[in-house]
Structure 1
Amino acid sequence: MTFDPIAVRLEAARSVVRDAARLALSLRPAPGGPTGTLKGRQDYLTETDGAVEAFVSRRIQELFPEDGFQGEENGATRQGGFRWVVDPIDGTSNYARGRDRWCVSLGLLDGDKPVAGVIDAPALGEVFTAQKGKGAFLNGKPIKASPITNTQEAMIEMGWSARVTTETFNEKIAAIMALGAMPRSGGSGALALADVACGRSDGYLEIVIQLWDVAAALVILSEAGAAVSPFLQTGGLTGGATILAAAPGIAKALSAAVDVEI
């Protein structure tokens, strides 16, 4: 039997992320006004973010000491051929209010290529996984992007960021609505991309998003057959960049409408 280092890492990641997600769930505040502090407008930081990132970093280092590691809170703390990228709580604004739409996201890159990912949303009871060339799954069942071809049937989510002007945001939302699509916003970039991968929504656009938000989702989207903009090639490896993911049947129309290459 041929040794597959990526498959070994993905299996380990499932366990690590599961335990991290359980930790986060146990620390989640009760529903109500937001807890934690603000790093910027609507950019929350809770004690759980740091605790989960430290937990994942420690476990990965124990299992794969030769691998690199990068987290949202502490940046790149280790270098290696394989690089793990974690968002300890994606959807922190939801988490901080005791809501359910948040997740722990852990992606694996081989150089600059996404090769595996796990997104665990424990309050929703959902785990998305994928390995390059092996398919994408939700709770162990294969997933595929939506088959729609008519934008007037489409549901498109757009993420909000304080780094984007109100004028730009409104322009893109108007372009989406002009297609006859229904706009949505759920507060978690990783889960929005996972929704595109499993066909729950037909597109997701965010003008400025970071690698840790999308590292796991990129391989899940690819394996599910979704169309995705060249995020890593347009600055996403080193800073904020735009991402557009779409059902393949409406990708061309959506790309043209919002003026983002796909």
Structure 2
Amino acid sequence: MALQADLDLALQLAAVADDITNRRFRARDLRVRQKPDRTPVTDADTAVETAVREALKSARPDDSFAGEETGGSVTAGRTWMVDPIDGTKNFLRGVPVWATLIALLEDGRPTVGVISAPALRSRWWAAAGQGAWLRRGDADSAPQRLYVSDNALLAHAYVSTTSTRTWDTFHSRAAYLRLAEACWEDRAFGDFLQHCMVAEGTIDIAAEPVVNPWDITAVQILVAEAGGVCTDLLGASPQGGTGALSANPRLHQLALKVLAAPPPLRAAPEPGPL
């Protein structure tokens, strides 16, 4: 099946999702419940995932599906993976930084990725061998091709994470602070946005200690098609759940080393008086 047809379908699915999320964003009757892992889910999350799943069942009946809310797993062959709203906490609080993430994996390898953030009037997309793209504004606005930054020095790098608190639980806050201190500036743009900004070249490094496959698959191919690298914090596939690190190739290697390095030894205190 032609890759362009899959990309066109993913973009159509993003439009379906945008229609739902735009109507429910800041709705007074938005319904929110807490999942067993204590993360929130809204009626918009479930509505988007259901709509996308049903559309794919019709358009690609032989493909598998994996979604954050309704389940499924990556299988051999073709699997569509969907995060209906990445940034649900922002969505339910009325913060406009959230997006629907749609990706196609073929034999476990991402080949198509779409990230649609209608409240930001932004949509990013990529397909294997076709580059990474961003369109801001109306649907008839001209898209721009994306490239990661060419910065090769941590001392000149701009780094972002999602939340420093999660580093305590899933990796090491000290490791992230070493990276932040080695860089020129650090912020917490968070979630999908920081990886998209790496693909745009507006920041240099995005690092987070824990991700789920639906959080990272679409941005993984976006970063790669922009000339960057997206792995976990050990340099392996980010779909394994052990964090995510996006950067240009040079900074990616430097950041991996900083995150893996043991903390510096502290000098023993001088003995006090007897």
Q: Shorter-chain TM-score category?
A: 0.7 to 0.9
Select 1:222's aligned residue among 195, 202, 224. 224
Q: Are 1:192 and 2:183 counterparts?
A: no
State which drifts further: 170-179 or 43-52.
170-179
Alpha-carbon distance in 2 for matches of 1:149, 1:232 = 20
Q: Are 1:82 and 2:82 counterparts?
A: no
Alpha-carbon distance in 2 for matches of 1:203, 1:233 = 14
Alpha-carbon distance in 1 for matches of 2:180, 2:10 = 38
| 2:247 paired residue number | 246
Alpha-carbon distance in 2 for matches of 1:117, 1:231 = 21
Larger radius of gyration: 2
Q: Aligned in 2, Cα 1:79/1:253: closer, same or farther, shift over 3 Å?
A: closer
- Written as runs of structure 1 = structure 2, the 5 A alignment for 1:158-177 is 158-160=161-163, 164-165=167-168, 168-177=171-180
Select 1:113's aligned residue among 109, 115, 122. 109
| 2:3 paired residue number | 6
> Identity of aligned pairs, percent?
28
Alpha-carbon distance in 2 for matches of 1:168, 1:77 = 25
Q: Are 1:136 and 2:139 counterparts?
A: no
Alpha-carbon distance in 1 for matches of 2:181, 2:164 = 22
SS at match of 1:127: strand
CA RMSD of aligned residues (A): 2.7
Q: Are 1:126 and 2:125 counterparts?
A: no
Q: Aligned in 2, Cα 1:6/1:233: closer, same or farther, shift over 3 Å?
A: farther
Residue 234 of structure 1, CA deviation: 4.6
Gaps of 5+ in 1: none
Q: TM-score, normalised by structure 2?
A: 0.83
Residue 79 of structure 1, CA deviation: 5.9
Alpha-carbon distance in 1 for matches of 2:74, 2:253 = 39
Q: Are 1:103 and 2:106 counterparts?
A: no
Q: TM-score, normalised by structure 1?
A: 0.86
Letter in 2 for 1:45: V
Gaps of 5+ in 2: 136-142, 262-274
Higher strand share: 1
Residue 123 of structure 1, CA deviation: 0.5
Alpha-carbon distance in 2 for matches of 1:187, 1:234 = 21
SS at match of 2:210: strand
Letter in 2 for 1:196: V
